[in-house]
A = this chain, B = another copy of it.
């Protein structure tokens, strides 16, 4: 959240959103009630509304905080002068990092975005589409330059995104395989299959 990595104290709002994310990941957006969330924070449901405007607002904060991170990082990677292969490696690493570091937030964004209401839903989908267009263009360029094998770019992109997204459902910190081995193996598996040898 807003305090990640820094020493600024977490606000009550930060705590609410974090606990909400854990609960929503577990039960889904609709099934996780404001009373559930309040109980985890240790207050009454009505008191939540002193810190957040609505349940929808919680989902909104989660989805866009992460979507903005992806957008920013993608711009940086995309505008560099690296080869397509290096860019793909960086994107794979980016997704693994965010998925494992903000695991509850990531699951909620990935699985519950469709419960966003307009106009937020459309804005979210625009961000996602723009992200995927950039991702696809990197693959196209890699094919043109002969770096990548002749695999359908959409299939390649969605396979990469899908396999990393699935991390949410089985990765658990401290257990085997560890984070470094996962990064290495996934990159090896996905790029070993896509790089032109």
Contact = CB atoms under 8 A, between A and B. Distances in A.
A121 B27 CA distance: 14
A152 B194 contact: no
A151 B115 contact: no
A170 B129 CA distance: 12
B193 A155 contact: no
Q: How many copies does the complex hold?
A: 2
Interface in A152-193: 152, 154-156, 158-167, 169-170, 177, 181-182, 185-186, 188-193
Main SS of the interface on chain A?
helix
A135 interface: no
A111 interface: yes
A97 to B, nearest CB: 16
A149 B193 CA distance: 11
Nearest to A177: B152
A151 to B, nearest CB: 5
A164 to B, nearest CB: 7
Nearest to A110: B169
Contacts of A167: 158, 162
Contact of A170 (B158, B177, B181): B158
A191 B149 CA distance: 13
Q: Which 4 A-B pairs have the closest CB atoms?
A: A162-B166, A193-B193, A192-B193, A159-B163
24 contacts: A26-B114, A27-B114, A28-B115, A30-B31, A111-B111, A149-B192, A151-B188, A151-B189, A152-B185, A154-B170, A155-B177, A155-B185, A156-B185, A156-B189, A158-B163, A158-B167, A158-B169, A159-B186, A161-B166, A162-B165, A162-B166, A163-B163, A192-B193, A197-B197
Interface of A: 26-31, 111, 114-115, 149, 151-152, 154-156, 158-167, 169-170, 177, 181-182, 185-186, 188-194, 197
